[in-house]
Amino acid sequence: MKLISWNIDSINAAVEHKSDRGLMTWGVLEGIAEKKPDVVAIQETKLKVDGLTKKQKEALEGLFPGYHFYTNSSSARKSYAGTMLMTKDEPIKVDYPKIGAPGEMDQEGRIVTAEFANCFVSTVYTPNAGGELARLDDRQLWDDAYRAYINSLNEQKPVIFSGDFNVAHEEIDLKHPNTNHHSAGFTDEERSHFTQLLDAGYTDTLRAAHPGEGDIYSWWAQRSKTSKINNSGWRIDYYLVSNRIADKVQDIKVVDTGARQDHAPLELDIEL
């Protein structure tokens, strides 16, 4: 199986590709399609509550002919968050779970899960702790609820789950750890909860493949014009798998997106 996961930051911006950044985003999506992955997981779709528009669906069907599309959009805020799976084979079942998260998090379209014969494939867009860490307490409750949800899947069959987890787990996972200990995405609380998730029986595939190797990032801030040039980034996007299938991973890498800042896709090859 080849799986690709990406925080696209707006399906519509990619489809319209009227700006330079939109053109780059569409180009990355074209590159993903050329790889003919079995599953594409997308985060931060920012779709309308009823999902893809006719134009968006036609554009994606042009890139991914024959694929099945499953979207989970935010009903809490317009053009916000949202997740999607595109699958080459039709799943046994698709779920858009409510996990008992606080506030409006369960209404923000943050999870899509597809069941296949040998595994579950799930994608997540984890809530950000926010400016001045205003959402940090709720974020921790989300992390606990999400871990319980993934564990419920793992009890049935192995899980491959990916997405923007909005946390750099260790100091090696961001360029400037010393100045970010109180920043959203690198607080002790968020990092501890990610450790708890891994300790529950899951493998961070990229770190397992590259132990101790620095300067591997998946996100570069758009507001800094030189962040990508200087590789001043964060690794906040992950492919995690149940420990019992970790030895089936054949390859995991960050996809090169050239000059485009923000998130880069992850590509996972696994033999199941």
164 catalytic, yes or no? yes
Following DSSP, what letter does each residue of 46-110 receive, concatenated? Answer: --BTTB--HHHHHHHHHHSTT-EEEEE--SSSTT---EEEEESSPPSEEE------STTGGGS--
Given the residues 9, 38, 143, 164, the one annotated as active site = 164
Given the residues 67, 70, 125, 239, the one annotated as active site = 125
- Count how many Cα atoms sit within 13 Å of the Cα of residue 92 in the half-sphere of its side chain: 7
Report d(CA 199, CA 243) in Å as an integer: 10
Report d(CA 156, CA 166) in Å as an integer: 27
Beta strands in 126-243 (DSSP E): 159-164, 202-204, 219-220, 237-242
How many residues in total does the chain contain?
A: 272
256 catalytic, yes or no? no
> Which residue has 């899947």 as its token pair?
153
Tokens of 51: 């999902």
Catalytic center residues: 125, 164
